[in-house]
Structure 1
């Protein structure tokens, strides 16, 4: 299970005043936070044989045999810029990707896709709320199973596709399930969600793909802020 370290300084600028850090697993609630003890090491850094010295307050530490180092210091020592997106809790080293919402991409054969053209606010089972999202089965379908297929021209313009999938907060009465998502790149299956029980992140590499097809089926599945990556 992946662990997320909570560091109370910007982008891995570690605090030296104490020896205790807090982490929680990415699938656990914040109430399950735990404290750990770490060993602060006097680490020496060299890039292409040249010693690099971090600023005061940016030392690394040792935890269970793994050395953790300040990300910004390491990246900038390698000549890369670092960008922090607090909204998505994402760190970008180097160029920041450009995103195109799925609703803004013209599908093959139509000016717009009737399912993805009108996003709305979606609340998933955990209580989290997402904008620019969709519910499979729809609010007006009475919980009936819905299927949808749509295909887009990519022409090698997209590096990837990403979204989150999750059960919605309240499943419709007599729902037959929460649905699935399949993604095809140039006719080959690139992603199959299977049965979704918890929120999962979806990333599909689309390097060089000419066409991308989405197949959805079921009821009660949230498709959260889907977008292409350029």
Structure 2
């Protein structure tokens, strides 16, 4: 279970601060929201011994013994810029990474990969819909694809790899899961999903990797908007 606190009225600019808050309690399958009560008091901020004062209405607060502060104010006080991507609900402090869809990367030994070159719309077991995605056991150009291996030349140009994995259909009781993904960097196994039962995020560090290989096995597995990170 993951917990995240955000401001409803300042979502585009600040993650924390203000007076009206919504509590998000999320699992990979569902989410709920509820109002929370917080203690808002004067908090002093110092950066390298110099006091910094946040803009009016952006003071921090205390919730269940933890102090939360306005992210933009703190980051900019440290000399970093903050970027909010509402589409992906992501906050970037400092430089914004460049994402390259897997469909746009040439695999070793071929101009295109017959699986990843043909993305489609995939609906997973929770009912969520994802564009630019793939389904093991689904049809991609030449027919239904199950077990598949593909390798890409990285030459240290990629910082990481990101995707979500999820079943594309509801599992029967007692099922061990659907499909799996393994990732190798320079022939060393660096990630093994095992059989997937719920939606999971994959975020792999590829710093310094020369080659990256993906090995996917089984059926009923959704590979959602996979991309390299530069």
TM-score, normalisation: structure 2: 0.90
Answering whether residue 32 of structure 2 is matched by residue 15 of structure 1, we say: no
Take 2:140 and 2:215, find their aligned partners in 1: how far apart are those partners?
20
Misfit runs of 4+, over 6 Å: none
**Distance apart, 1:169 and its partner CA:** 3.9
Check conservation: 2:100, 2:229, Cα contact below 8 A.
Answer: yes
**Distance apart, 1:65 and its partner CA:** 1.4
Partner of 2:155: 155
Answering whether residue 41 of structure 2 is matched by residue 41 of structure 1, we say: yes
Check conservation: 2:16, 2:68, Cα contact below 8 A.
Answer: no
Check conservation: 1:145, 1:176, Cα contact below 8 A.
Answer: no
Take 2:16 and 2:4, find their aligned partners in 1: how far apart are those partners?
15
**Distance apart, 1:4 and its partner CA:** 1.7
Check conservation: 2:2, 2:25, Cα contact below 8 A.
Answer: yes
The more displaced of 2-11 and 44-53 is: 2-11
Partner of 1:206: 206
Partner of 1:68: 68
Number of equivalenced pairs? 222
- Measured on the aligned residues, the alpha-carbon RMSD in Å equals 2.2
Take 1:127 and 1:209, find their aligned partners in 2: how far apart are those partners?
36
Unaligned runs of 5+ in 2: none
Partner of 2:89: 89
Change (3 A) 1:73 1:210: same
**Distance apart, 1:75 and its partner CA:** 0.4
Match of 1:103, SS state, is helix
Partner of 2:118: 118
Q: 1:124-157: CA deviations, max 9, x gaps?
A: 111111110000111489xx88100000000000
Answering whether residue 171 of structure 2 is matched by residue 168 of structure 1, we say: no
Take 2:100 and 2:180, find their aligned partners in 1: how far apart are those partners?
23
Answering whether residue 120 of structure 2 is matched by residue 100 of structure 1, we say: no
Change (3 A) 1:200 1:117: same
Take 1:213 and 1:139, find their aligned partners in 2: how far apart are those partners?
22
Unaligned runs of 5+ in 1: none
**Distance apart, 1:170 and its partner CA:** 6.3
Take 2:217 and 2:30, find their aligned partners in 1: how far apart are those partners?
29
Check conservation: 2:6, 2:15, Cα contact below 8 A.
Answer: no
**Distance apart, 1:178 and its partner CA:** 1.7
Take 2:160 and 2:50, find their aligned partners in 1: how far apart are those partners?
36
Partner of 1:29: 30
Match of 1:109, SS state, is coil
